[in-house]
């Protein structure tokens, strides 16, 4: 009996794979390596001290994906695989819809065929659009502003409809807030291609002298210091949320459940910069720039449903996230 981890060599998938292995779970990873590297498999094995099967397979390649189901007794799937860059999704909507939606459809069709009806899906706080109030609860209205976000919302709907048609399916939708940080070993972390879009890798590049300064996108938002507020969550805390979701899905009896995975605490861009400087003793040069189109002022979770029903809370603070991010970057980028 194994858990299939799609996208398991990616940023969140690799951290989750380690936690699953360390807990004693058997896992199988499928990834086409479009945004990760094969070396990640060795790192996961080294850190966890455990072995697992890896298939370099694209979810769109039904024939080879079917082999994974034939050769393994898959009992649950954690579905991370997908393209995730908001800006790129606006330039390449066809590629995003095809990869994320069709990939998921091929996956769930094979799950049905092989009678594995338990899926944990990586969704995002982006599905809340511009929230009407804060903190954000799971039953808030949903809307999206870019193709990436729309794929998340559509997949949530697809999984919900599958459950409606066959109530043997158990579906857990996890809406992540802003994952940052890295494994404390410093061996694995976030390594974006090109110039980073997200703030934490960008700050790390500035700290490493690969970029001159951080552009702070707007200081006139309706927030305490005018800069954008987000709910940053340590990727290891996020990974541990998936272990709780697996425990939960094994006890479920034909349900769809949605959980916010965040800390519940919002920090501004300037607070993040200050925490990074304090944690690592490195000054981060920044300049105030124009607002970034599509950004919202503030976004943070009400994570109480995950606490009450999964027994999960995030325990790592912002300084730790900054320390772990930098440890990884320093080891791997310079």
Contact 177, 123 (CB under 8 A): no
Closer to ligand NAD by CB, 33 or 313: give it. Answer: 33
Binding to ligand UFG by CB under 6 A, coded x per residue (else -) over 182-201, reads ---------------xxx--
Closer to ligand UFG by CB, 140 or 217: give it. Answer: 217
Binding to ligand NAD by CB under 6 A, coded x per residue (else -) over 176-215, reads x--x------------------------------------
Binding to ligand UFG by CB under 6 A, coded x per residue (else -) over 43-82, reads ----------------------------------------
Residues that contact ligand UFG, how many (by CB under 6 A): 21
Name residues whose C-beta falls within 8 Å of residue 232's C-beta, 6 or more positions apart in sequence.
Answer: 177, 178, 179, 180, 200, 263, 267, 272, 318, 321
Structure tokens that stand for 275 in this block: 């925490």
148 is catalytic: yes
Structure tokens that stand for 202 in this block: 């960008």
Q: Give the DSSP H or E segment for 57.
A: none
**Residue 11 interacts with which of ligand UFG, ligand NAD, none, CB < 5 to 8 Å by class:** ligand NAD
For position 259 contacting ligand UFG by CB under 6 A, the verdict is: no
Catalytic choice (55, 96, 128, 148): 148
Binding to ligand NAD by CB under 6 A, coded x per residue (else -) over 41-60, reads -----------------xxx
Q: Where are the alpha helices (DSSP H) in the chain?
A: 11-23, 39-48, 62-71, 86-91, 93-96, 103-113, 147-165, 199-207, 235-251, 269-280, 304-310, 318-333
State which of residues 11, 177, 267, 312 lies at the interface with ligand UFG (CB under 6 A): 177
State which of residues 44, 172, 173, 269 lies at the interface with ligand UFG (CB under 6 A): 269
Q: How far is CA 55 from the centre of its chain?
A: 21
Task: Give the number of other CB atoms < 10 A from CB of residue 191.
Answer: 18
Beta strand 267-268 with 229-230: parallel, antiparallel or unpaired?
antiparallel
Residues 156, 52, 324: CA angle, nearest 5 degrees? 70
Tokens 């158990």 correspond to 170
Task: Give the number of other CB atoms < 10 A from CB of residue 288.
Answer: 14
For position 126 contacting ligand UFG by CB under 6 A, the verdict is: yes
Structure tokens that stand for 206 in this block: 């500035």
**Residue 215 interacts with which of ligand UFG, ligand NAD, none, CB < 5 to 8 Å by class:** ligand UFG
Helices then strands, counting H and E runs in the chain, come out as: 12, 14
Residues from 119 through 178 that contact ligand NAD (CB under 6 A) = 122, 124, 176
Tell me the sheet residues that pair with 112. none
Residue 99 CB, nearest approach to ligand NAD (Å):
5
Residues that contact ligand NAD, how many (by CB under 6 A): 26
Catalytic residues: 148
Question: Which residues lie near ligand UFG (CB under 6 A)?
Answer: 84, 86, 124-126, 176-178, 197-199, 202, 214-217, 228, 230, 269, 292, 295
């Amino acid at each position: 009996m194994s858990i299939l981890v799609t996208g398991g060599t990616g940023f969140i998938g690799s951290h989750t794979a380690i936690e699953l292995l360390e807990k004693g779970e058997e896992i199988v990873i499928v990834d086409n390596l479009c945004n990760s590297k094969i070396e990640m498999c060795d790192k996961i094995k080294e850190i966890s001290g455990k072995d697992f099967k890896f298939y370099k397979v694209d979810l769109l390649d039904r024939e080879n994906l079917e082999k994974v189901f034939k050769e393994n007794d898959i009992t649950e799937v954690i579905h991370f695989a997908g393209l995730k860059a908001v800006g790129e999704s606006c330039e390449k909507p066809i590629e995003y819809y095809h990869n994320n939606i069709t990939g998921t459809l091929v996956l769930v069709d094979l799950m049905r065929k092989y009678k594995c009806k338990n899926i944990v899906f990586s969704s995002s706080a982006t599905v809340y659009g511009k929230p009407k109030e804060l903190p954000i609860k799971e039953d808030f209205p949903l809307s999206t502003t870019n193709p990436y976000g729309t794929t998340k919302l559509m997949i949530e709907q697809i999984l919900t409809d599958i459950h409606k048609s066959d109530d043997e399916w158990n579906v857990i939708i996890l809406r992540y807030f802003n994952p940052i940080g890295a494994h404390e070993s410093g061996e694995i972390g976030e390594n974006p291609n090109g110039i980073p879009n997200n703030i934490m890798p960008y700050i790390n590049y500035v700290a490493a002298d690969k970029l001159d300064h951080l552009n702070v996108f707007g200081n006139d938002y309706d927030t305490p210091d005018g800069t954008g507020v987000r709910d940053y969550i340590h990727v290891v805390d996020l990974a541990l949320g998936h272990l709780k979701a697996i425990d939960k899905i094994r006890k479920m009896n034909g349900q769809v459940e949605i959980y916010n995975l965040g800390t519940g605490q919002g920090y501004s861009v300037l607070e993040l910069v200050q925490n990074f400087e304090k944690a690592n003793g490195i000054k981060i040069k920044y300049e105030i720039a124009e607002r970034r189109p599509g950004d919202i002022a503030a976004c943070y979770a009400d994570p109480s449903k995950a606490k009450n029903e999964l027994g999960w809370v995030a325990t790592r603070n912002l300084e730790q996230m900054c320390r772990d991010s930098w440890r990884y970057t320093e080891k791997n980028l310079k």
